[in-house]
């Protein structure tokens, strides 16, 4: 294929709630451009973008797919993204390199929760947006209601460019109020016939045309003057005005399609070619150092890697956008993050799993290269001596987690390597080796996200893995003060061990007074790695314990604090005062005092009204109003404390607090209650008291699984 310059490239990302028809629309665009000669379907597993086995099994997109269409001397780079919030990492990476987002709305369901989430991402990235109301051929499609919902949620800038005639099962015509033309489609879709707008629709079309012209003109003083003088703007003025207002997010044009029947696709692509901003028309990208990079093919080469894949028959592939300069086969570029020089091998443009080799890619274009061993998602590659870093995609924190185990002995290392590969491809999958929980934890965005990872481990890497519940990082503390003592004495023929320690263990709070009735000789305050404090107080009088043994006592206490007496969890916020004891001139040593300190602390802790604490999260549930009641009724069952509820557009936000032990299961539960229409975000809040019955149950389980320490 020929090389396209930044004036003739368009970079779009297809966004939308699951089931809105993004993949089908992409398929229609490829067919219209001649890139494919037959339109595949999701049901037949024959589309260009959904080509992974798991996507065929689920009949929905799981990964973002990079595509392109050559259309009337323009190259349209298309990134088709998944609609489920679980795969937000794929969406954010695509938005990062696209110049315009096309948000696909389901004419039957209107603005859905997934749409709301995606909209927020486009706001954060300042991405220009076009709306496409798809499935207007559905018997229950309601275009005007969908548009009204969009206006209410996204603002009056949401402006109709097209609307369907004969909406529903008889849909066959689109009225275009920009061109003031009606497009009538044959029964099997494809190229329409241009006809005058019927008299019955003329008044509405003129009104919508005027609204479109006014919103374009009001954002440009020159265009407003022309509009006031002539009462109209010519075609070139409208084109320029629309492009400018799109870039500034001052207009969100609304189109309509039946992607399944290939009706309206060609007109949408024509608008993409002529109106949506080219890379050279977008504001130059700003590096982290503040340098502005224009899409200049003659400038220094700088590219950004936004996606990575690893396939059995393809190998590792890195997808990138060229922000400056020209990328050529065989050139050397420096990875700014790693400092490694990478030699670019074969360059490709891709349509799903099909790839086409090219000699070069100019600024503004999107392509792929294989076998960059030291380059990852979010890395910047550039000519030597540039020292540039492009802004990284910011991925959200994980929402769910699970512990993962190898089903076959000896494959633990292989599992670790595979999980690292999955994280390289999808940075929203976080792998944690937890010494505290003694588990390998996989964090993700939702249950489907984790199951997709499991599918890849089993099918791509041929591993036998199983998911088990992730343990909860509880904390242990106490609620009262206790004095205790412990004598450690062992004689085994040779040198013996002897140590006796008397200590007071009490709950610690900042600003508390010195230990009552004890003489304080020294105080150490230790900030614990897992949160909270240990304050260790030396109250020894008269040398009953040599000062050199105090660090051993402290070490014994810390050892037990790393595996608390109640459930084996970390202990926090205690004060330990060592005030008496005994030692032996021959048999006392550090090991003996370490053991005595550990056992004295354990005994005191058990007697000091131990309290188990659990992590609590602030949870915001975004939900349609009609399922608010069911969700709120379910929350107390999960020990959720409802803080309040407030409106967010035509949705409701339920603010609640929920323990992590319940939150791990909530993604699946919420999807079931809301039929996938509600979503949530969560952030750690604090540690709070565990109910007594749950604490007792956890303690009993721990004791049953433990062995005697001595």
State whether 309 and 362 are in the same domain: yes
Domain at 136, CATH number: 3.40.50.300
CB 554 within 8 A of CB 536: yes
Flag whether the pTM goes above 0.85.
Answer: yes
Count of structural domains within the chain: 5
Contacts of 646 (CB under 8 A, 6+ apart): 652, 653, 655
pLDDT computed for residue 679 by the predictor:
87
Dist CA 7 CA 327 (whole Å): 17
Residues 40 and 183 in one domain: yes
Residue 2: the pLDDT is 85
The per-residue pLDDT for range 688-706, each reduced to its tens digit, is: 999 999 999 999 999 888 7
The values of phi and psi at residue 258, to 5°, are -120, 90
pLDDT of residue 707: 56
The 3-state DSSP class for residue 540 equals coil
**Predicted local distance difference test score (pLDDT) of residue 710:** 39
- Asked whether residue 2 is assigned to any structural domain, the reply reads no
Q: Which residues of 472-504 are buried (b: 16+ CB within 10 A; e: fewer)?
A: bbbbbbbeebbbbbbebeeeeeeeebbbbbbbb
Query: Both 39 and 174 in a single domain?
Result: yes
Measured over the CA atoms of residue 366, residue 371, residue 373 and residue 377, the dihedral's sign is positive
- CATH number of the CATH domain containing 411: 3.30.70.870
508 within a domain of the structure (yes/no) = yes
What distance in Å separates the CA atoms of residue 71 and residue 416, rounded to the nearest whole number?
Answer: 45
Residue 552, pLDDT > 70, answer yes
Q: Residue 518: give the domain boundaries.
A: 476-605
Is 553 in contact with 459 (CB distance < 8 Å)? Answer: no
Q: Are residues 96 and 189 in the same domain?
A: yes
Domain presence at residue 35: yes
**Size of the chain in residues:** 710
Beta carbons within 8 Å of 151's beta carbon, 6+ residues apart:
158
Q: What is the CATH number of the domain that holds 675?
A: 3.30.70.240
Give dist(CA 592, CA 487) in Å, integer. 9
Task: Write the pLDDT tens digit of every residue in 48-84.
Answer: 999 988 999 999 999 999 999 999 999 999 999 999 9
Domain membership of residue 708 (yes or no) is no
Is there a single domain that holds both residue 81 and residue 209? yes
Arithmetic mean of pLDDT, 375-403 = 93
Mean pLDDT on 609-633: 94
Q: Which CATH number covers residue 494?
A: 3.30.230.10
Among 134-148, 242-256, 553-567, 670-684, the range scoring the smallest mean pLDDT is 670-684
Least confident among 230-244, 378-392, 516-530, 574-588: 230-244
pLDDT at 709 over 50: no
Give, as one character, the DSSP assignment of residue 205: H
Judged by average pLDDT, the poorest of 79-93, 167-181, 226-240, 505-519 is 226-240
**Could you tell me which residue, 676 or 474, shows the higher pLDDT?**
474
- Report yes or no on 710 lying in a domain: no
Q: Give the start-end residues of each E strand in 492-589.
A: 497-507, 522-527, 533-538, 570-571, 574-582
Domain endpoint, select from 274, 298, 316: 274
How many angstroms separate the CA atoms of 284 and 513, rounded? 60
**387 found inside a domain:** no
Task: Determine the Cα–Cα distance for residues 572 and 569; give it in Å rounded to an integer.
Answer: 10
Helical H segments across 71-198, by residue range: 88-97, 113-125, 143-154
- In this structure, are 506 and 463 located in the same domain? no
Residue with tokens 């396939």: 311
Taking alpha carbons only, the member of 11, 291, 8, 7 closest to residue 128 is 11
- DSSP 8-state code for residue 392: P
Query: Is 699 within the bounds of a domain?
Result: no
The answer to whether residues 190 and 82 belong to one domain is yes
Q: What is the pLDDT of residue 180?
A: 95
End residue of a domain, out of 471, 491, 515: 471
* Phi, psi of 31, rounded to the nearest 5 degrees: -65, -45
Instruction: Give the residue-averaged pLDDT of 522-535.
Output: 95
Structure tokens at 266: 């060609």
Do residues 43 and 87 share a domain? yes
Section 113-139 average pLDDT:
94
At 453-493, the pLDDT tens digits run: 999 999 999 999 999 999 999 999 999 999 999 999 987 66
Residues 6 or more apart in contact with residue 466 via CB below 8 angstroms: 404, 405, 407
Residues 29 and 134 in one domain: yes
Question: Which pLDDT belongs to residue 146?
Answer: 97
Is 664 a residue whose pLDDT tops 90?
A: no
Mean pLDDT of all residues belonging to the chain: 93
Question: 416, 449, 471 — which closes off a domain?
Answer: 471
Q: What is the rounded CA–CA span in Å between residue 172 and residue 137? A: 8
- Cα within 13 Å of Cα(363), Cβ side: 23
Residues 20, 148 within the same domain: yes
Query: What is d(CA 224, CA 522) in angstroms, rounded to the nearest whole number?
Result: 79
Residues 6+ apart with CB under 8 A from 382: 300, 301, 302, 303, 333, 334, 336, 388
Would strands 522-527 and 497-507 be described as parallel, antiparallel, or unpaired?
unpaired
Residue 207 pLDDT more than 60?
A: yes
Instruction: Tell whether 253 and 337 lie within a shared domain.
Output: no
Q: From CA 107, how far away is CA 326, in angstroms rounded?
A: 42
Task: Give the residue-averaged pLDDT of 536-558.
Answer: 95
Q: Are strands 315-324 and 439-444 parallel, antiparallel or unpaired?
A: unpaired
φ/ψ region of 325 (left if φ > 0, alpha if ψ in -120 to 50, else beta) reads left
Q: Helix, strand, or coil here: 390? A: coil
Q: Is residue 704 part of a domain?
A: no
Asked whether residue 384 carries a pLDDT value surpassing 50, the answer given is yes
**How high is the pLDDT of residue 685?**
95
Q: So what's the pLDDT on residue 494? A: 66
266 and 188 both lie in a single domain: yes
Q: Which two tokens stand for residue 231?
A: 């009462």
Range of weakest confidence among 28-32, 378-382, 649-653: 649-653
């Amino acid at each position: 294929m020929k090389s396209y310059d930044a004036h003739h490239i368009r970079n779009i990302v297809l966004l939308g709630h699951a089931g809105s028809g993004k993949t089908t629309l992409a398929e229609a665009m490829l067919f219209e451009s001649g890139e494919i000669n037959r339109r595949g379907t999701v049901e037949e597993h024959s589309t260009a973008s959904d080509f992974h086995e798991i996507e065929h099994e689920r009949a929905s997109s799981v990964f973002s797919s990079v595509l392109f269409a050559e259309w009337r001397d323009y190259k349209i780079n298309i990134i088709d993204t998944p609609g489920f919030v679980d795969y937000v990492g794929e969406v954010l990476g695509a938005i990062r390199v696209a110049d315009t987002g096309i948000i696909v709305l389901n004419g039957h369901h209107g603005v859905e929760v997934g749409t709301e989430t995606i909209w927020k991402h486009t706001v954060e990235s300042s991405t220009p947006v076009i709306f496409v109301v798809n499935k207007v051929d559905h018997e229950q499609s309601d275009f005007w209601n969908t548009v009204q919902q969009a206006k209410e949620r996204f603002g009056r800038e949401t402006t109709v460019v097209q609307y369907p005639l004969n909406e529903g099962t008889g849909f066959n015509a689109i009225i275009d109020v920009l061109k003031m033309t009606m497009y009538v489609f044959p029964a099997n879709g494809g190229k329409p016939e241009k006809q005058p707008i019927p008299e019955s629709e003329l008044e509405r079309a003129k009104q919508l045309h005027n609204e479109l012209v006014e919103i374009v003109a009001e954002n440009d003083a020159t265009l407003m003057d022309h509009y006031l003088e002539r009462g109209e703007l010519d075609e070139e003025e409208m084109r320029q005005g629309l492009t400018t207002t799109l870039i500034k997010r001052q207009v969100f044009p609304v189109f309509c399609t039946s992607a399944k029947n290939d009706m309206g696709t060609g007109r949408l692509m024509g608008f993409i070619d002529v109106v949506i901003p080219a890379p050279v028309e977008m504001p130059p990208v700003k590096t982290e150092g503040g340098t502005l990079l224009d899409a200049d093919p003659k400038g220094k080469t700088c590219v950004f890697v936004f996606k990575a894949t690893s396939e059995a028959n393809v190998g590792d592939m890195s997808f990138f956008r060229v922000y400056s300069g020209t990328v050529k086969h065989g050139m050397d570029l420096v990875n700014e993050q790693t400092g490694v020089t990478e030699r670019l091998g074969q360059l490709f443009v891709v349509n799903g799993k099909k790839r086409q080799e090219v000699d070069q890619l100019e600024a503004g274009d999107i392509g792929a290269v294989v076998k960059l061993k030291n380059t990852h998602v979010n890395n910047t590659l550039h000519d030597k001596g540039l020292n540039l870093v492009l802004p990284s995609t910011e991925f959200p924190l994980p929402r769910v987690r699970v512990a993962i185990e190898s089903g076959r002995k000896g494959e633990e290392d292989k599992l670790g390597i595979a999980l690292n590969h999955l994280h390289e491809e999808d940075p929203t999958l976080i792998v944690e080796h937890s010494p505290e929980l003694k588990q390998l934890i996989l964090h993700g965005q939702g249950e489907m996200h984790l199951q997709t990872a499991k599918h890849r481990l089993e099918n791509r890497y041929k591993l036998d893995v199983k998911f088990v519940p992730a343990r909860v990082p509880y904390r242990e503390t106490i609620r009262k003060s206790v004095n205790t003592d412990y004598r450690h004495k062992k004689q085994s023929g040779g040198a013996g061990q002897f140590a006796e320690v008397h200590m007071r263990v009490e709950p610690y709070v900042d600003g508390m007074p010195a230990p009552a009735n004890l003489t304080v000789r020294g105080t150490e305050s230790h900030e614990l790695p897992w949160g909270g404090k240990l304050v260790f107080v030396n109250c020894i009088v008269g040398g009953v314990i040599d000062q050199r043994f105090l660090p051993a006592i402290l070490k014994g206490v810390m050892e037990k604090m790393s595996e608390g007496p109640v459930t084996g969890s970390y202990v926090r916020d205690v004060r330990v005062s060592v005030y008496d004891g005994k030692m032996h001139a021959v048999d006392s040593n550090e090991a003996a005092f370490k053991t005595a300190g550990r056992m004295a602390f354990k005994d005191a802790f058990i007697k000091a009204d131990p309290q188990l604490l659990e992590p609590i999260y602030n949870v915001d549930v975004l939900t349609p109003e009609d399922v608010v009641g069911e969700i709120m009724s379910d929350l107390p069952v999960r020990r959720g404390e409802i803080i309040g509820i407030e409106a967010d557009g035509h949705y409701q936000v339920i603010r609640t607090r929920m323990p992590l032990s319940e939150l791990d299961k909530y993604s699946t539960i919420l999807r079931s209650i809301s039929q996938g229409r509600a979503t949530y975000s969560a952030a750690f809040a604090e540690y709070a008291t565990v109910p007594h019955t749950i604490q007792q149950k956890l303690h009993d389980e721990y004791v049953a699984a433990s062995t005697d320490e001595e």
